[in-house]
């Protein structure tokens, strides 16, 4: 601030992650965006939450504080699926845990209120976004209220935050009070009953918190219905505002989702002047491990229409996929070649799903998607346009840039989507085997049991078997020793001991010995988590088997672990 001649910041971002000036880190992405808009932005990464003074180090901001728990939910960052404390934290100096509190959003807002009682506070990021309404909290085994109410923040931004954040910051800069900003897309606000009914007359009423928080049959069904109403009102083009009643007088309003960034907007955002380095204050403590995997990666797309039940990406980023332009990715890659630490290897060119590079259909081109059906489940939609052509051309151009030795794809790929592309699916698979695999290719069949795959929203196992066959044949023809690295989940809803045995027998038969097992983790706001809590499939309201007892979950783990 002294070097720039600032007397005060316009906004201060409090983050649960260490500061890394890289577009894969939310604090850097949003603060670089605000900087490009002309705002003076300060960042307080991982404050000492026990000391009020830690929130005062940059003084009082002119307009307000932005608060995010980090790139992960703080509880997921701290605890394993078995609820045991983690020893490390990839987003903290030296990879050591303990630099952020449990339920970081709540703690940070409370600390800021101690330091500056009447300051405007905006919360966002994955933790706030997925806890915006009543949500099942695995760690306490309860349904908790909206984090907006528990934190007492002024506004919650859900989903990808660029457009809502700019709307709010511009309004504040124009002299509006935070209490008057009520209708910004992509935000949730808390209001009283009278205001809710007066201003949001077209809103859809969700089952109230008091109705959904119990564990009796009616409450569990209401919670499942609550989730499905949200899911069916997630399309930015058609969604209505949603209202959730809490404690009689306090209501949470969710305004319709923000429209996705266009290709041009995405290009501009990711070409902001990131240094791709950690803050110098972390050099003595061993750096930030999370940077190593993504340091020289290119984000090529946003959004995911995969529809996996256990994944929160579609609820946070949306189902409408937007890809960056080839020209923008090439410009960014050429800048990386000049970077002092670049060794010639692009670590990744991808997004939530690497080969989802363009919209699934014509409707997604305008940012929308279907209310009552998925793109790939239970079968590919007739309107799906599986197409790898643009992605292939982009990869080819990147490979040819002087100074680039190898371009890897480390984001997951959807093997079923490759098979649905009848024009260039085989060409794509051969190309990645030839140029873009570093010995192992990550894929996620997740399970082998038909009923578990159905609950997961995944394709039939025969689809993976065909892909495995194609992959093996291509590598044999190319005379390459490359292997698939499949991920499987045990103890997912729908999976009992019978299904765990079926998975174990399959792995033994194929000779694949997993290095580690991935146990289902009920994280907030996923379809699978709703199933775990309610014992119901919200899509059909039919019962689904759930392995909740630790003894059974352990037995399912052991059936895989004994293969090692």
pLDDT tens digits, residue range 8-39?
A: 999 999 999 999 999 999 999 999 999 999 99
Instruction: With cut-offs at 50, 70 and 90, classify the pLDDT of residue 263.
Output: very high
Domain count of the fold of the chain:
2
Mean pLDDT (the chain, rounded): 94
Residue 11 structure tokens: 């906004």
Cα 325–chain centre separation: 22
- Report the CATH number at residue 120: 3.40.50
pLDDT tens digits, residue range 266-301?
A: 999 999 999 999 999 999 998 999 999 899 999 999
> By residue range, what is the domain housing residue 74?
11-189
In a domain, 167, yes or no: yes
Of 164, 189, 214, the last residue of a domain is 189
In a domain, 206, yes or no: no
pLDDT tens digits, residue range 54-75?
A: 999 999 999 999 999 999 999 9
- The pLDDT, as a whole number, for residue 179 is 95
- Report the CATH number at residue 529: 3.30.750.200
Share of the chain above pLDDT 70, in %: 99
In a domain, 541, yes or no: yes
- The pLDDT, as a whole number, for residue 364 is 86
In a domain, 364, yes or no: no
pLDDT tens digits, residue range 233-260?
A: 999 999 999 999 998 788 999 999 999 9
Of 141, 166, 189, the last residue of a domain is 189
On the question of pLDDT at 512 being above 90, the answer is no
Residues constituting the chain:
564
In a domain, 390, yes or no: no
- The pLDDT, as a whole number, for residue 518 is 86
In a domain, 371, yes or no: no
Of 187-201, 254-268, 466-480, minimum mean pLDDT range: 187-201
In a domain, 332, yes or no: no
Answer positive or negative: Cα dihedral of 546, 550, 556, 557: positive
In a domain, 27, yes or no: yes
In the 3-class helix/strand/coil scheme, how is 241-275 assigned residue by residue? Answer: CEEEEECCCEEEEECCCCCCCCHHHHHHHHCCCCC
Q: What global pTM score does this model have?
A: 0.95
- Could you give the CA distance from residue 416 to residue 465 in angstroms, rounded to a whole number? 10
- Could you give the CA distance from residue 169 to residue 164 in angstroms, rounded to a whole number? 9
Of 172, 189, 206, the last residue of a domain is 189
Mean pLDDT of 489-504: 94
- Angle, to 10 degrees, between the axis of helix 389-399 and the axis of helix 326-337? 20
- The pLDDT, as a whole number, for residue 350 is 94
Q: Residue 64 in 3-state DSSP?
A: strand
């Amino acid at each position: 601030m002294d070097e720039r001649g600032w007397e005060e910041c316009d906004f201060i971002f409090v983050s649960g992650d260490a500061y890394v000036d890289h577009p894969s880190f939310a604090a850097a992405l949003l603060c670089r965006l605000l900087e490009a808009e002309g705002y003076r932005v300060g960042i307080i990464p991982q404050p000492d939450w026990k000391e009020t003074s830690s929130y005062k180090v940059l003084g009082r901001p002119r307009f307000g504080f932005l608060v995010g728990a980090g790139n992960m939910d703080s509880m997921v960052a701290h605890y394993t699926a078995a609820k045991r404390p983690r020893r490390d934290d990839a987003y903290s100096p030296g990879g050591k845990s303990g630099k952020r509190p449990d339920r970081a959003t709540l703690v940070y807002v409370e600390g800021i209120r101690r330091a500056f009682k009447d300051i405007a506070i905006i919360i966002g990021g994955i933790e706030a976004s997925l806890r915006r309404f009543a949500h099942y909290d695995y760690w306490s085994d309860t349904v908790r209220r909206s984090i907006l109410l528990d934190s007492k923040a002024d506004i919650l931004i859900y989903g990808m935050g660029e457009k809502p954040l700019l709307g709010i910051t511009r309004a504040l800069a124009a002299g509006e009070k935070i209490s008057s900003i009520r209708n910004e897309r992509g935000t949730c606000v808390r209001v009283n009953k009278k205001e809710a009914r007066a201003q949001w007359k077209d809103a859809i009423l969700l089952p109230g918190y008091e109705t959904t928080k119990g564990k009796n049959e009616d409450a569990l069904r209401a919670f499942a219905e609550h989730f499905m109403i949200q899911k069916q009102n997630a399309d930015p083009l058609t969604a209505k505002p949603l209202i959730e009643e809490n404690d009689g007088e306090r209501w949470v309003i969710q305004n319709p989702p923000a429209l996705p960034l266009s290709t041009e907007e995405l290009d501009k955002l990711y070409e902001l002047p990131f240094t791709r380095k950690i803050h110098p204050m972390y050099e003595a403590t061993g750096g930030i491990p999370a940077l190593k995997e993504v340091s020289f990666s290119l984000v090529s797309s946003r959004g995911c229409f995969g529809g996996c039940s256990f994944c929160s990406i579609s609820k946070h980023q949306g189902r409408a996929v937007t890809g960056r332009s080839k020209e923008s990715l090439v410009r960014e890659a050429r800048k990386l070649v000049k970077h002092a630490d670049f060794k010639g290897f692009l670590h990744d060119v991808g997004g939530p799903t690497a080969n989802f590079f363009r919209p699934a259909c014509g409707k997604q081109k305008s940012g929308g998607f279907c209310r009552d059906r998925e793109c790939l489940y239970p079968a590919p939609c007739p309107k799906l346009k599986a197409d790898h052509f643009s992605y292939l051309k982009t990869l080819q151009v990147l490979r040819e840039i002087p100074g680039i030795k190898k371009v890897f794809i480390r984001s997951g790929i959807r093997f079923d989507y490759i098979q649905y592309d009848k024009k260039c699916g085989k060409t794509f698979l051969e190309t990645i085997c030839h140029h873009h695999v570093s010995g192992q290719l990550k894929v996620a069949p997740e399970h082998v049991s038909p009923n578990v795959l159905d609950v997961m929203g995944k394709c039939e196992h025969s689809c993976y078997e065909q892909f495995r066959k194609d992959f093996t044949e291509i590598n044999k023809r190319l005379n390459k020793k490359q292997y698939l690295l499949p991920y499987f989940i045990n103890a997912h809803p729908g999976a009992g001991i019978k299904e765990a045995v079926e998975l174990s027998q399959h792995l033994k038969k194929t000779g694949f010995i997993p290095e580690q097992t991935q146990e289902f983790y009920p994280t907030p706001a996923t379809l699978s988590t709703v199933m775990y809590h309610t014992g119901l499939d919200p899509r059909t309201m039919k019962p689904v088997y759930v392995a909740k007892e630790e003894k059974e979950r352990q037995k399912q783990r052991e059936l895989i672990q004994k293969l090692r």
